[in-house]
Amino acid sequence: MYESIPIVMTAIFDGRKYEGPYTIDAKDVPPTPGVYLICTGSSGGEKIIALYESDDMKTHMASNPERDEWFRNKDDGNNSYNDDALRAYYLEENSQSIRQDIILKMVERRPYRIPCYRPPVDDF
């Protein structure tokens, strides 16, 4: 009898391996600390339209208040709520400071503005 082996898919973003693509319903994203990306297809590749860090990626993604923004910024030519046009990738990382650094560097390296990115607000 053969043992079932799960298929693990990865994608490289800024030199780091992310698991994915997954649907944005978050059912396959673990409830662990990390960084997750919301992407849409663009010229045969992936365009990051949102990125987040969280202590619980699954819960954060499933209840993210910016979900409507993801649909408004996807590249399929219409604003319909078609989940197939959006994909999620994740990277597990326990350290919040490393997660924040990953996000800031990704934003700096993109040749385009990430539409759903909200920079940290200084509360001074």
Tens of pLDDT along 21-34?
A: 888 888 889 999 99
* Local confidence band at 5 (pLDDT 50, 70, 90 cut-offs): very low
Q: Which of 96, 91, 88 is nearest to 35 (CA)?
A: 91
The structural domain count of the chain equals: 1
The mean per-residue pLDDT over the stretch 104-111 comes to: 91
Q: What is the CATH number of the domain that holds 85?
A: 3.40.1440
What confidence score (pLDDT) does residue 77 get?
A: 56
Q: Are 87 and 1 in contact (CB under 8 A)?
A: no
Helix ranges (H only) for 1-124 are 57-62, 67-72, 96-109
Whether the predicted model's global pTM rises above the 0.85 cut:
no
The answer to whether residue 123 scores a pLDDT higher than 70 is no
- Residue 65 counted as domain residue: yes
71 is a domain residue? yes
